[in-house]
Amino acid sequence: MFQPDQIERIRTHFKVVAPHADEMSRLFLTRLFTAGPAVRALFPRDAAARGQDLIASLGIVVKNLGRLDSIEHLFAEMGARHHRAGIEPQHYGIVRDALVASMRDVSGQVWDARIEADWLSVLNAVASMMIRGAGRARMVAA
Ligand code: HEM
User: CB of 43 closer than 6 A to ligand 1?
Assistant: yes
pLDDT recorded at residue 22: 86
pLDDT at residue 61, as a whole number: 96
- Determine the pLDDT at residue 48: 60
CA distance 76 to 59: 16
Tell me the pTM: 0.92
User: What's the pLDDT score for residue 107?
Assistant: 97
Instruction: CATH number of the domain at 121, please.
Output: 1.10.490.10
Distance 64 CA to ligand 1 centre (A): 19
> Ligand 1 centroid to 9 CA: how many Å?
25
CB atoms within 10 A of CB 2: 17
Residue by residue, pLDDT tens for the chain (142 residues) are 899 999 999 999 999 999 998 899 889 888 888 877 777 777 766 666 666 787 788 999 999 999 999 999 999 999 999 999 999 999 999 999 999 999 999 999 999 999 999 999 999 999 999 999 999 888 887 6
Query: Is there an atom of ligand 1 within 6 Å of 44 CB?
Result: yes
Q: What is the pLDDT of residue 53?
A: 80
Domain count, the chain: 1
Tell which atom from ligand 1 comes closest to the C-alpha of 53.
10
Structural domain of residue 113, as residue ranges?
A: 4-141
61 lines ligand 1 (CB under 6 A): no
